[in-house]
Amino acid sequence: MTPSPPVLVLNGPNLNLLGQRQPEFYGTDTLDDVVSRCEVAAEKFGAVVEAKQSNHEGQLIDWIHEARGRVAGIVINPGGYSHTSVALRDALVTLDVPVVEVHISNIHGREEFRHHSYVSGIADAVICGLGIDGYSAAVEFVCIREGKN
């Protein structure tokens, strides 16, 4: 039996500091906790997760390009690049799989500049304000969308 393609979970800048950086917005869970929750969510569907984090826009774009034709979907927390990166958005539109944008905090309840995301307009779904539980919901969405239910 051919293994199913992984769900790619991408995290952008500063998410390597989860649990340390601004716990009033992002909580005390770490990036390892995020990955563990994603793996548990994927296992329910017989799927696997491939998780990556980078503080560099070009690295995220390279990973998106490498994902073409290889993954079941992408769950992405672009971090601050949500609000600034047309290049990241343009890379994501090259995919033919579900894309789910995740934000731990409610970006619409924060500073005005965070209210706009270049990724939201091209994402199949956007989840914000659920803490790290939003990642699990996003992974489940990708698995259901890809017929793994």
Give the Cα separation of 107 and 58 in Å (integer): 23
3-state secondary structure at position 77: strand
Pair 123, 75: CB distance under 8 Å = no
118 is catalytic: no
Indicate which residue of 26, 81, 118, 135 is catalytic. Answer: 26
Indicate which residue of 81, 103, 118, 135 is catalytic. Answer: 103
Q: Which residues pair with 18 in a beta bridge?
A: none
115 is catalytic: no
Residue 11 backbone dihedrals phi, psi, to 5 degrees: -125, 135
Q: Which residues are identified as catalytic?
A: 26, 103
